[in-house]
Structures are given as C-alpha cells and as structure tokens.
Amino acid sequence: MSLFNVCTWWSTQCPDSGEHYDVASLLCARFGLETQEKDYIIVGSQTGQLSIYYPHGKGYEATDLMLETQMSGPILGLYAGKFSGNVGNQNAQQLGVLQPNAIVIYNVQAVNGLSEHGSQLRLQLVVEHKFQRVAFSLCQGHFGQVKGREFYCIVHLDGTLTFYEQDGICYECRFPGQRALPAPVVYCQRTDSFYRFSATWFLQCYSYQDLSHSLISKSSYQPTWTQSIGEGIMDMRVVQVKDNCSNILILGEHNFISLDDNGRLNFMLKLDYAPKCFYSFVVGYYWEPGARLITAIISDSSKMHLYEEANIIWAAQYQSHATAPVAIQRSNVNDLPGAIVTLGPKGLLEVGYLGAEPYQFQVKPLNIEELSFAQAHKELQQLEDEIKEAVDVRDMDALNQQAADQVRLHFSIESKIADEDLDTLLMDVPADVAVKELPSAKGLLRFKIKAELTELQLVIHTPDGVRCSQDTFSMIDVPAGLSREIKLDFYISELLHIYTTKVQVVASFVSPRGIPRVIQQSSYLPLTMFYRMCQPQKAAGIKLTYTITSRHVQPKLSNFFHEFLEDHSESQALGLQLLCPGHEKLNEIITIVAAKNSNRLRIQSDYIETFGMILERIVETTLKQDTAKGHLRMDKKKPKRGILNRCVERIVAVPFIPSEPILHRVDAHHQTQQNIRKQTEQLEELWQQFKTLQRQLQELTESEPKEALTMQIETNYDQLILEGDKLVEIRRDERRQRSDVNCSIALAKWIIHALNLEERVVNVVNSVLSVPIEDWTELCWEESMAPGIDMLHHFGPLTRSKSTSTHGLLDANSGTKDTFDYTRFRRHFASLFDRIVRLATASSSSSAAAGADSSQVGEKSVEGMASKPVDEIANMQNMLADASVRPIGKLKTNMSSSLEAVEDDEEYDEDDLHEEPGYRKNYGPTDDSQKSGKDGKSRSEWVNEDFELPTTEELFSDLGIWW
C-alpha cells in the first residue's frame, strides 16, 4: 500500500459503462465561449456516446453535464483546434470528432439556461469529410508553419495520410518503405516535420514539404532522419521544452524514451512496470531557462509515477480505480488549477490532485560550516585554470599539438587500385557508372584515444563524384586507450569532372570538461582511378609551363606520376585520358612533357577540366619532396609585406591563365542557374493554378457540370509533371556544370599559387577563388563571388586606381546597384586574371634582368656591385634563388588579340618548351609610335617615373582595410 494517494476532487460515471474507451477518448479543451473560461472535459466512447462536462466546484452536480448526444458511428478520437477560418472570435476553437469513415468538425455554442437548470451546449456542423479508407487517428498542427489556423491529416490503417486544409483542399500521400503499423503520427511545429513509427520499430522523420509535394513531383523521398526504438510503442507526443529544440516523448512497452527533434537521444528510462498511458507538460514557459518537463505515467497497477526529465519525483496510488486508467490529461478547472483528469476503461471519469495521508513534515537541520578562505581561493584558482585552458587561443600551435596527442590519427590511401571488390560496390552506384567498371581504391584509418572523451566524430570529405564506403563515424563516452582500425573503399559514384584527389578526415571531439577540439589529416587518391595511359598529343589548345627551381626535386615524369611510370623510366612525354568525362563521345586527353636539357615541364590539353588533378600532383609533390629534404615548411612562416611568394623557391609557373575557357564554363553555369529560377517560377505558377482549380471544383454543387473543370485539372496536372521532369534534368546539368567550374577555378588557383608575386597577393586571390563552389536556393555562386571580385577590382595591388581614398570608393559603390549584374561580374573576373598575369610577367622580367645585371657587375668588381642601387623585388629574388639553379630567362611576349592556339613543332624539344604558352594576346599598341622610356622599355601603368617596379608601399597602399 502506498503512503501517497491521488485524492479525488470530482468524479462521475459516463453513460456507456462498457469497456469502450481508450487513450483517444478523453479531451480537455476550451472553446472561447466566455472570458473567464475554464477547461471543458469531453469524453467519447467507441459506441458513439459523446459527453461534455464542465465542473463548477468540488463534487459532481447535475448542471456539470453540458451536453450528451449519440453520434452516428463509433468515436475513434476527439480533437480541438482552429479548424475553420470563418469564425469571428480569434480564441474560438472547433471540436473534431473522428469516426471510422469520416471526420466531423463542429462549432460548440452555448445556450443560456432558465432558472436553476443552468447553461447547456449544442453542436453546429461546420464540415464533414468522408473517407474511402478506414481511419485510425488524426494529427493536427500548423502545417507549413502557418499562423492563425490549423490543418489536420487523417492516418489510415494502411499507412496513407489524407491532408485537409481549411479551404477544402485535400490530398493524399504514402510513406515510402514497408507498410506502416497502426501507430500515432505526431507533428512538430518548430521543424515542420512529421514523426512516424514504422513497422520495423524505427522512428522516422519526414518534412511536410516532402509529403505535400510527393504526388505532384512523383519523386521518391526519404526520411530526414531515422532512429531505432527497438520495441513497440503505446503513445507518442511532441513537447517544446526549449526555444531552439522540441522533445519527442515515446512511451514504449518497457521504456520511456525522449529524443530531440533532430533525432538525438536525450534519455531512455527503463520501466519496472507495465505502462498504460502517459501525459507530458512543461511547467513554466519554454523560452525561459527555468522551464521543467514533467511526465505522468500510469502503470497497470493503478499507480501514477511523476518524472522530471528521467528522474522520478513522486508516486501516488489510485484508490478509486479498480482497473488502471486508460487516458490521462492535465486540466485547469474551476477552483482547481493543474488538476489531473483520468478516464477508466469503463467510463469512470475522475478529477484529482496529489496528496498525502498522513501529512508529515520535518524541517531539515541547518548545515552551517565555517568558510575557509584559503580553500575557496584554491578552488577558484582551479576553476580559472580550467576556463583559461578552454578559451585561451593565443598559442594555437600548442593547442593543436595537445589535440593531436589526445587523439592519434593516421589516414592513408593505397596507391594501387583495387578491382576485386567492385561487385559489392555496384550496389551503391547508378547504372550509368556501374557499366563502365571504373577502378576503386582502398584506404585505412587508424585512431587511438589517449585521453577520455565524451564525444568523438570522424567525418571523411571526398570531392564530388567520389564516394566513401563509410563517411561518418561517431562515438560517445570514449574511454582512454581505445584504438580502432577502419578499412575504407573509395569509388567513383557519378560521371563528373573531378578537380582534386584530396580526401580529408576531420576528427572533432569533446573532452569531459566540455572543451571542443578539431584535428584533420588528408591523403590523395591515386590518379589511376581517374586516368589511363594513352598516346601523347603533339598539339593542344591550352599549354602551361612549370619550372622546377628546387635542387632537391628531379624533374622526371616518373617522380610525379609513379602510378603510370616506373622509377627508372626516362620517358619525356606522358599522355593520360580521363576515365569519367562529362561527354562520353569526347576523349579528354592531357599531355605532360619534360624538357631534355632544363627543369621545365609542359602540360597541355584541349580541355580545361583535365588540368586540376595533374597540376595538384606536380605542385604538391614538389613541395612535399623539397620539405622532406630539410627545408622549412611554408606554412610556418607568416607572410609579411614585401615578401615574395615562397613557392617560387621550389616551383614557378609561366604567367598565363586561360581566362576565356574559364569564363566559358562560368557563363554556362550562370545560364543554367537562370533556367532553374525560370523553371521554378513556372512550376509555382502551375501549382497555384492547380490549387485554384481544385477550390473551384470543391465549390461546385452536385447539379453543376464538372466535366470541363475536371479536364482542366487533368491537363494542368500533366503539365506539372512535365515541367517537374524538366526541372530535374536541369538540376542534373547544373551539377555537371558546377564540377566543370570547380575544375576551372582549381586550375587558376594552382597557376597563381606558383607565380612570382608577393605572397600576400597570392593568399588573398586564392582565398577569394575558393573551391568547391556552392549554389544556394536564393543565391548562386556568381552572386556570392561578386563582392570579393569587386573588392579585388577596386582595392589593392590589382587595381588601376592610385587613389588612397578607400572609404570614398566604398561609399561611391555601395548603393549604386541593387541587383546582381552578371556582365559587370564577368568583366571584373576577366580583368582580375589579366592584371595578375601582367603583374607576374613584369615581376619575372624585372627579376631576371636584375639577376643578369648583378652577375655582370660581380665579374668586374665586388666593390662596385655593393656601391650600385639594387631594386627591392630583384634583390629579394636574388636572396631566395639557389646557386645551383639556373636563372629563369625572360619570356617572350608575342601575343595577338585573336584567341588563336599556338602551333607546336613536329617533335618535343627544348625550343617547343620555350615558346610562349597559351593564347596570343597583345596588350596595347605595338607600333613604332609607342612611347618609350630611357632604357627602351615601353611605358606602362605598372611602372613609375623611374621605370622601376612599384615598391611594397605602393602595391599595398589601398589594402589597409584588409590586413
């Protein structure tokens, strides 16, 4: 016998005394009939008996029964909400009665009584919807996050959902996968999602947008997230406890489970009794920090258990119930706020409150201890040290090293391709990729935990078009000393142009003190996954030249492409063909040629998409081998003003950027974005027409003809399907073109990375030209890139303006254009590449000329060389140059305005590599009337009055707002 009991304050027996009640037979709600209104108690039985009670005080009176009627069919559930928009009172709610074959919506109206008989209620029919299928339950809410009205959907026994809006529109949808068991479906307003319990005991989340558009687009949709429950459930509710999160509370057969609206488990409470029903509510307001989640669970022994989160705070026994209640609600009735309303299986309705017999109260003795200031100061110092350790980021190297010591991470990818497991991988790739039988690669991920962690997550980032067999790995409560080894498979999943072979592993973890840390490692996929050897080409439209300036790196093709050539191979030319081109009828071939008598490499191809991975391999291999020989790492030195790009100590590129092919890919991508927006607007217009026609069909009476309107609806529906298929096809083209733009931007970045420019300039341009590119619903990549390109166009060393009034330029251009101007963006984009090439060409020519002059002076006299002034940038180049590396000669600048490809000689020789790469393009007049300076050099806007390169201060005169 329990010491604490649920005290009865009001009780009555419903008209139907049989066992015809369940959890959906009880409802406590208000209908907005008066200003100081309290809750009405509505009870409906499965025999059709509907009763409405309004307790006026302690103990049941005859006037408490406001309405009693017999419905035409069994009552499966009772619901209250703003189901009709034609009510003048904003606080008024309607009563929804769910029957097996219909849903009936009533307006509850008050009828004033005469003398002592009291007031009564009556039901006014608003709308009745008939079903073709048998109903199971009803789900209501502000679907689509609308305000001021509520929609509802009917859950049928076969898993079908029928949605109803206030204006009479209804549509059906089915959940994907297995057939659903009869289980409740609940709605979360914060995320605009539905939660459904599947036949496999999984809780699945579906967005309302996917459900509402599933019939229109006829596209397959998957749940947003899925969480295993592991047992059957009895009831489910959604309660918002915090401002940024809602809780999904599930009463299972043996457990009480709480999840947040993102599918993360809050707690799982093991019950040592058989539950019957439950009810959860929030004490306080959810936006306040002190809000408490309280749950009342009724057991099969008529005992109520009260929990705060997962902790039990009270238990009380029902003495009046011979059998356990089947439904429980919390209500505010007259003279008793926060009452507990229960309904028994035979119709015993009871309003009670928590009490104790006998009442015992003892005051706890006060625990007064003497305060030790020394001990308090020591504890305060420990807390300050912990806070400082968590938030002090002044020494990032020490923090990164500490994080690397806590989690030892090792990630590697085999250089040899694997074909034996290809049959198992075909299950995850589309048919058009599977038929090509493309190679795959194997990787190995090892990690060892040195310190205890509360959370650990590993994420593997692969480029678009490449998929990993396991891209995420999560753990909680990780003990120290744990070590794991994960075998990975990498394979091509889409026929896209891939701009990089880099695969990155990001490990994020949280210490027991709540300190988050992130470490990352990377490795590179073998080129044999994407290329195969072929015959080299002698002619190509795009030619790039790199010079290996490091004495520690041998300029041999076998040194860079060991997958295709053996170590002792002396081959001077290598041809590679892409295995997964964007257009299957084209053979996208790239040729790499090594010079016989110099350290130069030429890379040439007709397709710009083939360069990204090859240039990445050449530059990264050069930097890696040079660093391994004892040179300092480039990232250990912070770039200072006036310091040249340190990459030219290892490898330097000829100043040429194929801007026209890059802009051609950007034009195609922008045009596709415009087509997507137009197609989306057209679909939206057709969808509005479709809804209008449906409303007109609903408003027609039975006597009016419907054939013409039905034909219009069918035609509009067919057009919707057709336009939706077009949008899907445009989306596929957008993905292919996005990958092409990624390859183009990656090509420009690898060229700029090895140009003879100031390192600060290289870093800024590469940070603006970031890959991979992203497109959003309201903002395409071009629109997001426009501010960065515009700032590079107006400020810094790449601008033509010599004005130092930075704020004036900002104010002048801040409000000139409200919309995106693609022509202006394209012009600035092309001008950016043009100025980079000209600045790099001028720097390379000046450095080579200064090096030649200094060598001649050195032969005459060392003292004379010290007495002559030396250019700043040329002096820096001489300091960085290595004595064993031959100087870079001045490049010929023979370019014409026509975009005509340079013709090659018949053989690969040294003269072919010294030709000017790329397209011929002339900048400015070339006739004899051109103005010349003292030394015969043409006057340029990049040269000052003394015919010297601008100093560092002149280059960065306008970059004060950036660095």
According to the model, what pLDDT value does residue 640 have?
55
According to the model, what pLDDT value does residue 885 have?
36
Same domain, 668 and 774: yes
Same domain, 107 and 141: yes
**Is cis: bond before 358, omega within 30 of 0?**
yes
At which of 507, 526, 545 does a domain end?
526
According to the model, what pLDDT value does residue 430 have?
78
Same domain, 245 and 332: yes
Same domain, 519 and 552: no
CATH for 273: 2.130.10.10
- In the predicted model, residues of the chain with pLDDT beneath 70 are 1-3, 85-88, 113-118, 166-169, 177-180, 214-220, 356-363, 367-368, 390-393, 418-428, 582-585, 630-642, 796-818, 846-963
Quick check: is 197 in a domain? yes
At which of 469, 502, 526 does a domain end?
526
CB atoms within 10 A of CB 517: 17
Could you give the CA distance from residue 42 to residue 64 in angstroms, rounded to a whole number?
12
Quick check: is 911 in a domain? no
Same domain, 702 and 721: yes
Same domain, 349 and 453: no
Of 125, 121, 119, give the one whose Cα is nearest residue 67.
121
According to the model, what pLDDT value does residue 214 have?
66
According to the model, what pLDDT value does residue 116 have?
57
Same domain, 67 and 153: yes
Quick check: is 814 in a domain? no
Same domain, 577 and 492: no
- Residue 543, H or E segment: strand 542-548
Quick check: is 221 in a domain? yes
Chain centroid to CA 353: how far? 48
Tokens at 371, concatenated: 């305060």
**pTM for this model (two decimals):** 0.53
According to the model, what pLDDT value does residue 908 have?
40
Of 668, 676, 664, give the one whose Cα is nearest residue 731.
676
Contact indicator for 249, 258 with CB cutoff of 8 Å: yes
- Residue 507, H or E segment: strand 502-510
For 646, the 3-state DSSP assignment is: helix
Contact indicator for 260, 247 with CB cutoff of 8 Å: yes
For 707, the 3-state DSSP assignment is: helix
Quick check: is 12 in a domain? yes
Could you give the CA distance from residue 156 to residue 364 in angstroms, rounded to a whole number?
56
Same domain, 53 and 200: yes
Q: Which domain holds residue 470?
A: 401-419+436-526
Quick check: is 327 in a domain? yes
Quick check: is 500 in a domain? yes
- Helices (H), ranges, 396-450: 396-406, 422-425, 431-434
Could you give the CA distance from residue 517 to residue 370 in angstroms, rounded to a whole number?
40
Quick check: is 365 in a domain? no
According to the model, what pLDDT value does residue 869 have?
36
Provide long-range contacts, Cβ within 8 A and 24+ apart, for 220-224: 220/176, 221/176, 222/176, 224/193
CA 504-509-510 angle, 5° bins: 160
Could you give the CA distance from residue 53 to residue 32 in angstroms, rounded to a whole number?
15
Provide long-range contacts, Cβ within 8 A and 24+ apart, for 914-920: 914/889, 916/656, 916/891, 916/892, 917/543, 917/544, 917/545, 917/602, 917/604, 917/654, 917/656, 918/542, 918/543, 918/544, 918/656, 918/658, 919/658, 919/660, 919/895, 920/894, 920/895, 920/896
CATH for 411: 2.60.40.10
Tokens at 488, concatenated: 């990975």
Same domain, 534 and 520: no
Same domain, 269 and 204: yes
CB atoms within 10 A of CB 70: 11
According to the model, what pLDDT value does residue 729 have?
93
Chain centroid to CA 754: how far? 33
Same domain, 490 and 407: yes
According to the model, what pLDDT value does residue 874 have?
38
pLDDT tens-place string over residues 427-462: 567 777 877 788 889 999 999 999 999 999 999 999
At which of 798, 821, 856 does a domain end?
798
The number of domains in the chain is 4
According to the model, what pLDDT value does residue 816 have?
44
According to the model, what pLDDT value does residue 796 have?
59
According to the model, what pLDDT value does residue 654 have?
92
- Residue 832, H or E segment: helix 822-860
According to the model, what pLDDT value does residue 488 have?
92
